[in-house]
Every structure is written in C-alpha cells, then in structure tokens.
Amino acid sequence: MTAKLSSEFLGTFWLVLAGCGSAVIAGAFPAFGIGFVGVSLAFGLSVLTAAYALGPISGGHFNPAVTVGLWAGGRFPARDIPAYVVAQVAGAIAAASMLFLIASGKPGFVPGNFAANGFGEHSPGGYSLMAGVVTEVVMTFMFLVVILGATHRRAPVGFAGLTIGFALTLIHLISIPVTATSVNPARSTGTAVIVGGWAIAQLWMFWVAPIVGALAGGVVYRALLEEEPRPDIVGHSRVAEKMA
C-alpha cells in the first residue's frame, strides 16, 4: 500500500506542478505566453505522462473524484478511498507550495488567482455559481465515462493513458473560461491553500460538483455500458488489473 500511496502523491504532485505551473509561470508570460490552449495541453500531458509512469503502481487516479467514480463503477474498493484521497490532497498541496516557491523567485511577483478555481467574480469569464456547478458536474461525469471505457478489458491495449490525457485536455479547453477547470478536488485544494480567502470560501463547490459528477459517471457506466462488470479491477490500466 505504501507504494500505491506514494504513486498517488507523486502523480498528483506532477499534475498540479505541471498543469498549474504552466498557467502561473508561462500562461501569460509577455514574450511567449502559452495561453489557455497551452495550459489545457499541459494538464493533459501531465496526466498522460503520470498515467504511464505511475499508473502500473497505483492505477493512476491522481484525483479524489476519479477514485470515488472508479468505486461507483465497480473498479476500486471502498476501504482504500480515504488513504488515496489523503495522498492525492497532500501531493497537490506540496506541488502548489513548490510552485509558489518557484514563482515568487521573480522580482515583483504577485500571486493573483494563482490558477485557483472560482466562480462569480473569481471565474475567468465571470460565470455564475450555477454555470460552474453544471460545468464541473458534466465535465467530471464525461471524464469518468472516458476513463472507464478506455480501461475496459475490451479496449485497445496501451492507449488508455493517451485517451485520458486527451480527454483532460479537451475538458480544459471547454471549461477554463468558466471555473479555470477543476474536475479534481485535490488540484483545487492545493492552489486554494496558497491563495486563501475567497479560494478557500469557494472550495466546497470544487469538491461537491466533481464528486457528484464522478459518482454519476461511475453509476451510469456500470449500469448501462459495462457489459462485463469486474469489481476486482483496480485502476486505469491492464497492468494495474493484473496487480490488483
């Protein structure tokens, strides 16, 4: 179990450091700002690389909503959820702290929103709480459907990481203007801890909405789309299935 929790810590650390780091450091850099398209790609590439590097160890969740959704889909045991979530949140906070240390090394650095998720006046595009809730629920729902489908025993072998990474990129391309994209309560917690204030006050939504969406995705996939449910499967890959 130590190896699995360490994998979840490192994978979430990498996702937050790479994804949020692309927004904080390179997203609006005057000379070569990568913009929201670049940030979307950074998040997708972070989960893609982490899935292939660490997925065979822990299943490569790196996200409390994914862990809960995999349980709802019959792919993960309930007894391991708390430990996975703690490791993921710890990894996200560690990454956000490291990112702050790096970013603050530039003279005149101002944290601003620090890639934190928000709604209302703290939404990048000024979207309402309702719009944020709907976006986070639907995007996480579809993310779980993609994950469960890509890791099904009949899915092409070796392509799950690519599919999941591309899905997360697409999710960010759609929802960055609405909430700065969470679909991951750990990622939201890491940046909120650094920003404090309003980010902490709005953090509840970025736990509730992704988990509701993930639960719905897991239940719907298992009930309507899973031809051969396998409650013993753990994680995102066939390698993880063999190790479970």
pLDDT tens figures, 58-96: 989 999 999 999 999 999 999 999 999 999 999 999 999
Tokens of 213: 């969406």
pLDDT of residue 66: 97
For 202-234, give the DSSP string. Answer: TTTHHHHHHHHHHHHHHHHIIIII-SS--TT--
Residue pair 18/46 in contact (Cβ under 8 Å)? The answer is yes
pLDDT of residue 29: 57
User: Domain of 194: which CATH number?
Assistant: 1.20.1080.10
Q: What span, in angstroms and rounded, lies between the C-alpha atoms of 69 and 63?
A: 10
Q: How many domains does the chain have?
A: 1
pLDDT tens figures, 141-173: 999 999 999 988 887 888 888 999 999 999 999
Tokens of 116: 């934190």
Q: Which residues have C-beta within 8 Å of that of residue 176, sequence separation ≥ 6?
A: 36, 39, 40, 124
Tokens of 1: 């179990």
Structural domain boundaries, residue 39: 2-243
Low-confidence residues in the chain, pLDDT < 70: 27-33, 227-244
Q: Which residues have C-beta within 8 Å of that of residue 243, sequence separation ≥ 6?
A: 56, 234
pLDDT of residue 211: 98
Q: What span, in angstroms and rounded, lies between the C-alpha atoms of 221 and 80?
A: 21
pLDDT of residue 39: 92
CA distances from 57 to 2, 34, 126 (A): 10, 32, 40
